[in-house]
């Protein structure tokens, strides 16, 4: 049986490469350049997308895994362990968020510079308000992954319970019921809304600070 396709080794490397490219792009830009913060927001968006999608794909693979097949069960367990304990994406989200927080003052100073058109000042003020809301949301998201250190995952407690159920011999029905409950309650709003807000914030910065 072929497991459900998800963020396996190569796609994770692709995500890391995309995030690192955006972080490097940001590092190369001046502190008062709005494009710097657009790149950091895009880096954060890549991370959120990858973390949320991997959680969804783990649940899909769990639904297809035959616990009577030792290799399939082992592969699912390894994927869950890698997701929870693999400290790859969260540090990059933390780095992007730190850069966005540090740049808030520089953007505010830029927004206060003498402008010919009042509409331009208003656009910058609105862009900064959107930026602040996104900062708050990303900080909350980072915390929701399981604090800022230690095991980390979307749905951390749910995945821990799922992982524990894999080790319980003769509990196939209970495992399947647990997976079904998680799939039925799957909420993609965080993925869709956060990524959409990231996109709007990047566009607002581009228009207001061009």
Predicted local distance difference test score (pLDDT) of residue 203: 95
Classify 65 in phi/psi space as left (phi over 0), alpha (psi -120 to 50) or beta. beta
What does each of the 210 residues of the chain score in pLDDT, given as a tens digit? Answer: 333 334 444 578 899 999 999 999 999 999 989 999 999 999 999 999 999 999 999 999 999 999 889 999 999 999 999 999 988 999 999 999 999 999 988 888 876 665 667 777 888 889 999 999 999 999 999 999 876 778 999 999 999 999 998 888 667 788 888 899 999 998 888 889 999 999 999 999 999 887
Residue 4 lies in a domain: no
Residue 71 lies in a domain: yes
Residue 164 lies in a domain: yes
Residue 161 lies in a domain: yes
Residue 96 lies in domain: 9-208
Predicted local distance difference test score (pLDDT) of residue 76: 96
What's the CA gap between 46 and 137, in Å, rounded? 15
CB 135 within 8 A of CB 100: yes
Closest CA to 43 of 10, 18, 11: 18
Residue 193 lies in a domain: yes
DSSP string for 79-114: HHHHHHH--SSHHHHHHHHHHHHHTHHHHHHHHTS-
| pLDDT tens profile 141-196 | 999 987 677 899 999 999 999 999 888 866 778 888 889 999 999 888 888 999 99
pTM summary value: 0.88
Number of domains in the chain: 1
Predicted local distance difference test score (pLDDT) of residue 2: 35
Residue 1 lies in a domain: no
In the chain, what are the helix, strand and coil shares in percent, each to the nearest 5? 75, 0, 25
R_g of the chain computed on alpha carbons: 20
What's the CA gap between 131 and 44, in Å, rounded? 13
Residue 125 lies in a domain: yes
Residue 68 lies in a domain: yes
């Amino acid at each position: 049986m072929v497991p459900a396709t998800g963020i396996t080794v190569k796609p994770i490397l692709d995500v890391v490469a995309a995030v690192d490219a955006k972080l490097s792009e940001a590092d190369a830009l001046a502190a008062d350049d709005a494009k710097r913060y657009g790149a950091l927001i895009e880096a954060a968006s890549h991370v959120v997308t990858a973390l949320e999608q991997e959680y969804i794909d783990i649940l899909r693979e769990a639904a297809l895994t035959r616990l009577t097949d030792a290799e399939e069960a082992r592969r699912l367990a390894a994927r869950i362990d890698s997701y929870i304990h693999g400290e790859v994406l969260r540090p990059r989200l933390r780095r992007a968020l730190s850069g966005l927080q540090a740049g808030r003052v520089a953007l505010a100073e830029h927004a206060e510079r003498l402008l010919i058109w009042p509409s331009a000042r208003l656009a910058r003020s609105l862009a900064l308000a959107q930026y602040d809301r996104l900062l708050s949301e990303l900080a909350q998201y980072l915390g929701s992954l399981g604090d800022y250190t230690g095991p980390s995952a979307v749905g951390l407690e749910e995945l821990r319970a799922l992982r524990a159920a894999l080790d319980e011999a003769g509990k196939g029905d209970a495992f399947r019921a647990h997976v079904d409950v998680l799939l039925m309650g799957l909420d993609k709003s965080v993925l869709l809304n956060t990524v959409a807000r990231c996109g709007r914030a990047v566009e607002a910065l581009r228009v207001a600070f061009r």
